[in-house]
Amino acid sequence: MLKLLKTTFHIIVIAMMLMLTLIWFWKNDAFDLRAVKIQGNCFVTKEEIFELAGIDFSKDIFEVDTDKIEDQILRHPMIEQVRVTRFLPSALKINVKERDLIAVISGSEISAVDVTENILSQFPVESVYDLPAITGFNFQEDSSGVRKLQNPELMRHAINILNDIKSFDLVLYYEISELHYRRNHGFVFYLKKSTIPVIFGIGDYHRKVVYFSTIYHYLIANDRLTKALAIDVRFKDQVVVKEVG
């Protein structure tokens, strides 16, 4: 019984000390918001994020509406996720995750597309420097004036192909200059190191990705890529390479 009373007494004393400490901090403005730390950004500048956040420094850290700040930052088309947390006694931490862009869509207007098929009409130019271009697609405006793709299902195929290549062979992905859609041949790749067409067709994409990767590295290793006129991976159990001579 005595041990229980001592333990209870100690808990009460600690609680009172904590309360007095909090009151002291409060009266001395220790919880006034003084700093904001932004991290996770790469292409979106900290200045852009800070401006979107619209933080009111006249409030203390407990009065700040973190949910509202998150909603405001998510208005930026390049921001996919954001988390705002309080960092006691007087700072906020903003952690953002930018969209993972997979390609640019080149048509009447230039757009970017991310790995989850979101199409962005506004994006930092530097974010698409090394990305392949998807061509052969057109946009049109619907009755309400919203700009939409004419062939969204085929665009989904194009994005899935590039996602598959990026996951399977990152070196090959960064060697792709263009993924073009033709009505007669389906999808056709063009490489940075060569202007030869790599005919991909429609369907059975993962098998074709494996074939594409294998023949590309074989031709590079044997110094034969520059001698090729075309590569066709549409056929099961074989890759057709048309070469000079």
Q: What is the DSSP letter of 144?
A: T
Q: CA-CA-CA-CA torsion for 143, 149, 153, 156, nearest 10 degrees?
A: -140
pLDDT at position 193 is: 84
Token pair of 25 as six digits: 């901090």
- State the Cα–Cα distance between residues 132 and 106, nearest whole angstrom: 10
pTM of the prediction? 0.80
The reply to whether domains 30-98 and 101-243 share a CATH topology is: no
Least trusted range by pLDDT, from 16-20, 58-62, 144-148, 190-194: 16-20
pLDDT at position 24 is: 45
Average pLDDT over residues 18-46: 73
Between 16 and 220, the higher pLDDT residue: 220
Inform me whether the pLDDT recorded for 23 exceeds 60.
no
Q: Where are the domains of the chain?
A: 30-98, 101-243
> CATH number for the 101-243 domain, one of 3.90.380.10, 3.40.50.10960, 3.20.20.140, 3.40.50.10420?
3.40.50.10960
Average pLDDT over residues 104-119: 87
The pLDDT tens digits of the residues spanning 46-70 come to: 999 999 999 888 888 888 899 999 9
In DSSP terms, which residues pair with 104 in a beta bridge?
Answer: 112, 133
Inform me whether the pLDDT recorded for 110 exceeds 90.
no
Report the chain's mean pLDDT, rounded to a whole number. Answer: 86
Residue 134 CB burial class (10 angstroms; 0-12, 13-18, ≥19): buried
CATH class of 30-98: alpha beta
Residue 212 CB burial class (10 angstroms; 0-12, 13-18, ≥19): buried
The pLDDT tens digits of the residues spanning 189-224 come to: 999 988 889 999 999 999 999 999 999 999 999 999
pLDDT at position 245 is: 65
Confidence band for 16, pLDDT divided at 50, 70 and 90? low
